[in-house]
Structure 1
Amino acid sequence: MKVAVIQMSPVFLDKKASWQKLKALILEAIGEGASVITWAETLLPGYPVWMGMTDSARWNQPEQKRAYSTYVREAVSLDGPIVTEMREIASEHEIMLMGGILEAGISSVYCTLLTIGFEGEILGRHRKIKTTYDERLIWADGDIEGLRTYDTPEGKIGGLNCWENWIPLARAALHQEGEMIHVAVWPGSYSLTKDITRFMAMEGRSWILSACGVYRGEDFGHLSLDDFPMRDEMLKAGGLYSGGSMIVGPTGEIIAGPLPDYDEGILYADVYKRTVVEERQNFDYSGHYSRPDLLTLTRK
């Protein structure tokens, strides 16, 4: 089964334009025969990269409030036109889509890993269970409703958002459900992801699809100061997140990627259930190498 990892820069704070860009790459990956296609954390409409670069934590700061309101405006509704079009593409081409969106709630927003199945159905939405550092000023905490796996022809697939991949119990929850292919979505930094990606592959004897974004200061130029008061400050920021997407096999070998820093493109690999089974002969930490009579994971 061919899988694809898309690495791209969003049209920041413009979900419609970002979707058009992402859609073109999805269709390109379909043309190359990909059956499962992934992309980075909250790529639609972008990761809140400005939070670590501006005066984001100051209480009652008007510029931050304005940027936040623009960000919330650009959140993606699960019953809206973008997700509807994703579902149509998945159904028409019999593919699975699994990638990051900023999900619109009633008033709050969530860092969501959305999974759309081969028949175009929404299989699940995994809202990040614990937002990281300054993300807590933007995103609401999620839940474990979407912390599960889904069937593919080459084994069960699951996924986690960014630093959730560093939470052993979150990884274990997916392994308990038989995960063989793992999607890890990030804002984009090879230095941040290279070690944990290979570790997860070796730990789980699993295929790892690590999807990263690309962010540069110059990408903020299209925004108005009314929508994004920190625009000029961000334009001077230079390189922010350089990418680092890769696909890693069950023994920890890098199969595809990483792309050169700040490049956009698509990585491909063929993944096989049989390879996972072979590698789990000597280590299967949710199977024969576990002791559920001594150690168990309990969901709440």
Structure 2
Amino acid sequence: MAWLPKVRVAACNVAPVFLDTAKTVQKTVSLIREAANNRADLVVFPETYVPAFPLWAAVSAPIDNHQFFTHLARESLVIDGKEIRTLQQACMQNRVFAHVGFNERSRYSVGCLWNSSVLISDQGEILNHHRKLMPTFYEKLVWSPGDGAGLKVADTERCGKVGSLICGENTNPLARWSLMAQGEQLHISSWPPVWPTTRAAAGGKQYDNLAANRMRAAAHCFEAKCFGVLCSGFMDRNMRDALVRHAPSAAETLDSVTQGASLFLDPTGAQVGEEVVGEEGVAYANLDLNACVEFKQFHDVVGTGYQRYDVFDVKVDRRRLGPEMVFSKEKHTDGESSTVRRGDGPSLEGSERQLGSGGGHQGRE
């Protein structure tokens, strides 16, 4: 007998209006409405979709990129700002969940940016706000490291238990485990449009982001016995031309890299539903979360059927980190309470051990 929901998901393989937050938010609202009209329960957007993924850090020298960084900082969002409220209102009006990647700026430092994501409910409530734990490679020139406060799985009735990680975090076994241990049933992974790692003129082998992204997401689905949503950005002509005007030598590299894909995976890691790659579009899939159950008989890496809590012990610090904590011990910038409610699985309250019976200390968030 089925008791878990069937979820229709839309993955938006789309480009932002490059470095224009107001117009990109308008485009996001339009896509939320479109997905809702196509009976989606959840609509997903790429990594730092608002207002852009900072590709200039890959193709030109840091000393030449100050103008881009300043522009990005000016266009970045705060979690309690008008842009996020607009997205919350769109979800509420269209009765659909949304997961949106965005560049977040700090209220305490005009040059502090994070690679962030937000999960919004069909009632317009923020269910989770996550900051990427570690920027990857040249991303370190743009974003600050995040924290563990967003390593949460949202227990929704309509979409099941939803978790997410951003790009390279899907390579981090402990970050992935922290979501598995909360009973994740639907895993969202968000990705950039392209990820160049060598100049085309150098003749080196370019990073195959299509294969790498699918492999990492499939491994997580197989281990967690959950469904996966891969959502990649798209580099349109406007983005490409803006980067080439800034760094003409980047043209050959940008024209040679493989664009990302948006697709869906089942609990075995096999692909299901629609796929969009190399163009703008929205992919859809109908996912029956009841299919997660059978495979838990084989390898349940959370339950006692395939886990040794007497051998392994992991601690996850769930505090929100930042200068605001110097002045306030009661709450942090996204307004969440200081206690994470315990479920019936491994504890994830405050700063605690997640595996094993060790107590761990409770920390503030």
**What is the TM-score normalised by the length of structure 2?**
0.75
1:151 maps to which residue?
Answer: 155
Q: Which runs of 4+ in 1 moved over 4 A?
A: 231-236
* Whole-angstrom CA distance in 2 between matches of 1:173 and 1:120: 26
Matched, 1:91 2:67: no
Within 2, Cα distance between the matches of 1:293 and 1:165? 26
Residues in 2 aligned to 1:234 and 1:25: alpha-carbon distance in whole angstroms: 31
1:254 paired with 2:271, answer yes
Residues 239 and 25 (structure 1), Cα distance of their counterparts in 2 relative to 1, 3 Å cut: farther
In the alignment, which residue of structure 1 is the partner of 2:192? 187
1:50, 1:234 within 8 Å by CA — same for their partners in 2?
no
Task: Tell me the distance in 2 between the aligned counterparts of 1:71 and 1:240.
Answer: 23
- Which among 164, 171, 177 is matched to residue 172 of structure 1? 177
Larger displacement relative to structure 2 (73-82 or 124-133): 73-82
User: 2 CA distance for matches of 1:96 and 1:292?
Assistant: 35
1:157–1:179 contact (8 Å) kept in structure 2: yes
* 1:187 and 1:214 in contact (8 A); partners too: yes
Distance in 2, Cα, partners of 1:96 & 1:257: 19
1:219 offset after TM fit, Å?
2.5
Q: 2:102, 2:220 → 1: CA distance?
A: 23
> In the comparison of the two structures, how many residue pairs are matched?
290
The answer to whether the Cα contact below 8 Å between 1:190 and 1:245 also exists between their aligned partners in 2 is no
Q: Which amino acid aligns with 1:272?
A: D
> Could you tell me whether the CA contact under 8 Å between 2:36 and 2:95 is conserved in 1?
no
Shift of 1:257: 4.1
- 1:103-182 to 2 correspondence within 5 Å? 103-106=104-107, 107=110, 108-153=112-157, 154-182=159-187
State the Cα distance separating 1:216 from its structure 2 match: 4.4
Mean Cα displacement is larger for which, 186-195 or 204-213?
Answer: 186-195
Contact 2:60 2:247 in 1 (8 A): no
Quickly say closer, same or farther: Cα 1:219–1:240, change in 2 above 3 A.
Answer: farther
Query: Over the residues paired in the alignment, what is the CA RMSD in angstroms?
Result: 2.0
CA distance in 1, matches of 2:210, 2:24: 22
Residue deviations 1:71-116, cap 9 Å, x none? 1111012222221111112122332111210012122110001111
Equivalent position amino acid for 1:172 in 2? W
Identity among equivalent pairs (%): 28
Q: Partner letter of residue 189 of structure 2?
A: A
Task: Please tell me the residue identity of whatever aligns with 1:16.
Answer: A
| Equivalent residue runs for 1:4-43 within 5 Å | 4-43=10-49
1:102-136 Cα deviation digits (max 9, x unpaired): 01212211000111122211122110011111111
Normalising by the residue count of structure 1, what TM-score does the alignment of the two structures yield?
0.90
1:34 and 1:185, CA in 2 relative to 1: closer, same or farther beyond 3 A?
same
Shift of 1:253: 1.4
Q: Give the superposition deviation at 1:229.
A: 7.3
From 220, 226, 243, the counterpart of 1:206: 226
Equivalent position to 2:293, from 251, 262, 277: 277
Mapped partners of 1:103, 1:202: distance in 2: 32
Per-residue deviation, 1:15: 1.2
Q: Is the 8 A contact 2:102 2:117 kept in 1?
A: yes
State whether residues 59 and 247 of structure 2, in contact with CA within 8 Å, keep that contact through their aligned partners in structure 1. no
Note the C-alpha offset of 1:66: 1.6
What code does the residue aligned with 1:181 have? L
Give the stretch that moved more between structures: 252-261 or 278-287: 252-261
Amino acid at match of 2:93: E
Contact 1:40–1:186 (Cα < 8 Å) also in 2: yes
Q: Deviations over 1:251-282 (max 9, x none)?
A: 11101343242x11111112223111122122
- Structure 1's unaligned 5+ residue stretches are none
Aligned to 1:219: 239
What SS does the corresponding residue of 2:216 show, helix, strand or coil? helix
8 Å CA contact 1:215–1:241 kept in 2: the answer is no
Which residue of the partner structure matches residue 79 of structure 2?
A: 78
User: Which range is displaced more, 105-114 or 158-167?
Assistant: 105-114
Letter in 1 for 2:302: S
Specify the SS of the correspondent of 2:128.
Answer: strand
Does the 8 Å CA contact 2:13/2:277 hold for their aligned counterparts?
no
